[in-house]
Chains A and B, each alone.
Chain A
Amino acid sequence: DAMVIQNPRYQVTQFGKPVTLSCSQTLNHNVMYWYQQKSSQAPKLLFHYYDKDFNNEADTPDNFQSRRPNTSFCFLDIRSPGLGDAAMYLCATSSTWGGPDQPQHFGDGTRLSIL
């Protein structure tokens, strides 16, 4: 089945130690998104790629970076994780954008813990 796969499902890192989360998709979608979801809060869009074009949300901290080396893969890099970065990170894809006719397909997330 075509899907969005996130690895690892659970990640533990130390305060200040860089960490990379990965996302792959077999849907061949143009758009890939990264969301941060803290407990009992709405998913918060961090950034997205339309093909190779990177779009950062205005309030995304500089500590968060992303790479998309090809259509299938996208990475989220957290350069110096702080305790406040502990959250579920969701990757999503869509064929293009514009309404739910092009719905976003989500992976199952990576739960990040900071020691």
Chain B
Amino acid sequence: QKEVEQDPGPLSVPEGAIVSLNCTYSNSAFQYFMWYRQYSRKGPELLMYTYSSGNKEDGRFTAQVDKSSKYISLFIRDSQPSDSATYLCAMSGSNDYKLSFGAGTTVTVRA
């Protein structure tokens, strides 16, 4: 079993729709939960992160963590064609250099 599971998609939505992405994990030591966005032929860039459980909102993006279920989500509201990318979840323990990534979900937002 992989440490982090992420549905690879692909996901195709019309412009303006809500995009829902999620990951599950098995390591209860994970404390930091991150979402990276990776455009085609580019490296991943950190989109947002959450520490422990709870929600975090940044503009059109909302990250949720449910540690009891070992389940994290990213929601993109009012999706735009520029949101078309692969979204990778990543996690680490406290003071831990090592990131454990999901395989990424490829999202296409149709104009």
Q: Is A34 an interface position by the 8 A CB rule?
A: no
- Report whether A99 and B8 are in contact in the complex, using a CB–CB cutoff of 8 Å: no
CA distance A99 to B6 in the complex (A): 21
Q: What CA separation (Å) do A42 and B102 show in the bound complex?
A: 5
Size category of the B interface is 20 to 34
Residues of B within 8 A of A43 (CB): 44, 88, 99, 101
Write out the residue numbers on chain B whose beta carbons fall within 8 Å of the beta carbon of A87. Answer: none
* Choice from A41, A99, A107 contacting B92 with Cβ under 8 Å: A99
Question: In whole angstroms, what is the CA distance A20 to B57 when docked?
Answer: 41
| Residue numbers in A under 8 Å from B102 (CB-CB) | 42
Closest partner residue, chain A, to B86 (CB atom)? A40
Do B44 and A99 touch (CB < 8 A)?
A: no
Give the CA-CA distance A43 to B92 in the complex, in Å.
Answer: 14
B residues 88-107 touching A (CB-CB < 8 Å) = 88, 92, 94-104
The answer for the CA separation of A40 and B42 in the assembled complex, in Å, is: 14
Q: Mark A33-60, 1 if CB is under 8 A from B, else 0.
A: 0000000111101001010000000000
* B50, closest chain A residue (CB): A100
Cβ-based interface call for B46 (8 A): yes
Contact A100 B46 (CB under 8 A): yes
Contact of B42 among A42, A45, A108 (CB under 8 A): A108
Give Cα A90 to B104, complex, Å: 15
A107 touches B43 (CB 8 A): yes
Partner of B99 from A4, A104, A108 at Cβ < 8 Å: A104
- Chain B positions within 8 Å of A, measured between CB atoms, are 2, 4, 6, 8, 31-32, 34, 41-46, 49, 51, 88, 92, 94-104
Give the interface of A toward B (CB within 8 A). Answer: 4, 9, 31, 40-43, 45, 48, 50, 90, 92, 94, 97-100, 103-104, 106-109
Top 5 closest pairs, chain A to chain B, by CB? A106-B43, A97-B97, A100-B49, A42-B101, A98-B95
